[in-house]
Structures are given as structure tokens and as C-alpha cells.
Amino acid sequence: MNLINRNVIISIFVLLYSTCWVQSLFSKTPARLKISVNSKTDQPAQALVRGNNFEKNITFSEIKETIIDLPDQGNYEVILIWKSGLTEKKSVNVIQKDFSVEFGSNSNIPADSINVTAKRPEAPPNYTLTQEDAVRMPGGFGDALKAVQSMPGISPMYQMYTGASFQSAIQTFSQVTNPDKPDKPNGEKGFLVMRGAGSRANQFYFNGLPMSYPFHADGLTSVINNNAIRSLELYSGSYSARYGFATGGIINIEGFQKRDSNLSVAHLNAFLTDVYTYRNITKNFNVSVSGKKYYPNIVFGRVPNLIPTETFLSDYNDYQARIGWDINENHSVSFQTFGAKDKRYPFKELSQYNPKETAQSFANPPSAADAARLDRIFRTDGIQQFGNLKVPLQIRLTFLETILTKLLKTVWTCWFLILLK
């Protein structure tokens, strides 16, 4: 009797459990979830839907919407991954057979409103000056590069030959160099103080190349021709990693990559002459050359007994040359070189100082006059490539004879004007 009752109870329990399972199975209400994306600044890449023991991963193609079949209504989590790498997550409660969720739009914005989106610029410069504005900057005396010395937040520190004065470009023999405080070479970067950093914590760049000699002779003039400068950019902080070797500030000098027409400019003065020329040899090939020459020794030497023989004179020059070649619509190459030379020697000699002759042995050290001399040369050469490297690069090294002839004539003419000796 007990065995019969036990079998009856087990049968009733199995029947009730099966009934509940079937009821729960048929009680599920399938639903369809529509995921749509509305964004003009980014594209969807991947979406993940999970919840209620359900998980599905889908990939977007050109279509910005997709439909997913859900096994049951309820709470789900939708995660959208954009192509830019950003991730957006939304929690939805699917209570209808057809339910939709939208990314990239704001339902609270009125329909007649205008939505403006933009990309944040990458570390913009604090100040930007064009060549025209830099020349007109007060305190620059018509020198475009010297305009940075008058910009806010900058304190200029002029390089001293012997620490005598600002006009130390012309000095006498009695103003000797202190052995404990040697001359600062004009190749050091101690010209400006920015953000409270050290005077050597800054860096000058010209067309992307580091330049450690921005000024001649105690900061009187710069080493870059005004017409070779397109703009000046001053970064006092948060600058790009491509501007290395600096913890204070960056002065970026951008030159002309290409001009619409040819240009030649020359300035003749009593002690200083500078020239600039730009030529479009062909539509895709251009050359620019510029330079400066300071020659007070030649002028003063024409008048006997005008300058005391023990007076030290400065004699400096600089040059900039660039060749630009547009290989195709996606690639261009430029070859450029620039440099400067500073000399100082007694007026009575009127000759170039030879450091090998004065660098004597330790037993016979240089005299005070030799210590006051100066002869320094700085030069920078570089090759730059611009364009999209994903596009195949094909170079054909074919030049017409007329192109080479025009190029040689232009280069030789420019060098003849620069080298006034």
C-alpha cells in the first residue's frame, strides 16, 4: 500500500513539474531589437548585446543599423564600439515585440536645432605671427625672427661676447675675456626665458629642423632672411612630441614651401646686405636661396686711421637654400641647408682668424688678444618627405637639359650675390 502511494506521489510531482516547465517555455515572448547609429563624425564597428542568458556579437559594415532576434523580453545591455576606439553602453528594457535603440543622437534636442561638431586641434600654438606681422612688431627693428623677443611671456637674454654691453659687436682690445667667465657661443640656446625655465631649455626650429644659432653677434640680427619666413609659431607649453630637446618653450619657424610666382629681393646698406630669390623651375620643381653679409671691416678699411687698430670688429654671414620637388599628388621631397658664420678679430689685421694658429701648446698659451678672437661656423642639412606613405611611391629620375641649365644659372647667380668678398 505504501509502495502504491509512493508511486502516485512521484507521478503527480512529475506531472506538475512538466506542466510548469511547458508553461514557462510557452510564456517567453520573443522580441526584435533594432540598433541604429546616427553620427556624422564616426562610424560604428561592432556591437554586443547580452542579458537573460543571451549574448550576441555583431559587426557593422556600410549599413548603420541592424536587427537582432531576442529570445525573450526583459533587460538587456547594448555595447557599441566605434571605429575611433570609443565605447558607448546603453541599458534597455525590451517590453515590446519590436524595440529600437539609437546611438549618436540626443532625443532631448529639438528637431529644428543645429548640431555643430568639430575635432579638437592638437596642441595649437600659443601665438602665431605671419611674416608681415613679425616685421612690423615693435622692438624687432624690421627683423622678423627678433619679433619673438617682444612677445608676451618672453624675456630676452642677449649673448655677450665679453659681457661688455649690447654693442659688443665692436669692442677694443682692453675688454679682454675673463677666464672664469668665458664667452658664450652664439650656438647655445640661451637667448630666451619662457615659463620660468632656464634660458637653455628652449628650442628653435626652422622648417622642422633644429636650429641652435638663431641670432648673430649678441642678438643684433637673426640668421634667417625675412622673405624666407612664412610664419612664426610660439609654443610655451603642451607642444607636440615632435619638438624634442626642450622643456621650456618652442619657437617654430615655417618657411615657404612653394610660391605662386617668382620673387627676388635685395637690400643694400652701408654695412649689411641681404638677398633672397625664389624660382619655379617647373610646375613641380622650385629653388630658393637667401643670405646675409655684414662687412664693417671693408667699409672702415677704406678710410685710413678712422678706427683704432686695437678695435675688434665683427664679421658675419649666413645662408639658406632649399630645393622642393613635388613628385606626384601624394608625395613631395625637399632638400635644404642653412648655416651661419661669426668672426671677430682686430681691425688692424683685416684678415680671417685662423684657430689653428692660435691654438698653441699648453706651455705657450694664447695671449689675451687671441682669447678675444672669435671664429664659429654652424651648418644644418636635411631631407624631408611629405605625403601619404600608404600610396605607392614611384620616382622617375628624368630631367630635361633645359631644367638643369636654368637651375645652375639660378644657383650660381644667387651665390655670386651672397658671397661679397
Helix or strand or coil: residue 247? Answer: coil
Helix or strand or coil: residue 317? Answer: strand
Same domain, 377 and 228: yes
Same domain, 50 and 135: no
Same domain, 172 and 254: yes
Give pLDDT, residue 127.
82
pLDDT digits (tens, 9 = 90+) for 182-240: 444 444 445 677 777 766 778 889 988 888 788 886 677 889 999 999 999 888 776 77
State which of 108, 139, 155 marks the end of a domain. Answer: 108
C-alpha–C-alpha distance, residues 149 and 146, integer Å: 6
12 inside domain: no
Pick the closest to residue 290 from 336, 340, 227 (CA basis): 227
Segment among 77-81, 166-170, 398-402 with least mean pLDDT: 166-170
Contacts of 97 (CB under 8 A, 6+ apart): 29, 30, 31, 32, 73
Instruction: Give the rounded distance of the alpha carbon of 315 from its chain centre.
Output: 33
Q: What confidence category does residue 394 fall into, taking pLDDT thresholds of 50, 70 and 90?
A: very low
Same domain, 157 and 224: yes
116 inside domain: no
Same domain, 71 and 131: no
27 inside domain: no
For 138-165, what is the mean pLDDT?
Answer: 71
The H or E element containing residue 304 is: none
C-alpha–C-alpha distance, residues 330 and 391, integer Å: 7
228 inside domain: yes
Same domain, 178 and 67: no
79 inside domain: yes
Give pLDDT, residue 361.
42
6 inside domain: no
Same domain, 141 and 211: yes
Same domain, 154 and 292: yes
State which of 108, 139, 167 marks the end of a domain. Answer: 108
Same domain, 233 and 315: yes
Give pLDDT, residue 228.
92
25 inside domain: no
State which of 61, 77, 108 marks the end of a domain. Answer: 108
Same domain, 103 and 139: no
Contact (Cβ atoms closer than 8 angstroms) between residue 57 and residue 66: no
Segment among 151-155, 176-180, 254-258 with least mean pLDDT: 176-180
The strand pair at 74-82 and 87-94 is best described as antiparallel
Same domain, 85 and 189: no
3 inside domain: no
C-alpha–C-alpha distance, residues 43 and 240, integer Å: 27
Same domain, 146 and 272: yes
Q: How many domains is the chain partitioned into structurally?
A: 2
For 364-380, what is the mean pLDDT?
Answer: 68
Give pLDDT, residue 401.
42
Give pLDDT, residue 313.
76
pLDDT digits (tens, 9 = 90+) for 324-368: 999 887 788 999 999 998 887 776 655 444 555 545 544 455 555
Q: What confidence category does residue 124 fall into, taking pLDDT thresholds of 50, 70 and 90?
A: low
The whole domain housing 73 covers: 39-108
φ and ψ at 287, to 5 degrees?
A: -135, 140
CATH of the domain at 312: 2.170.130.10
CATH of the domain at 52: 2.60.40
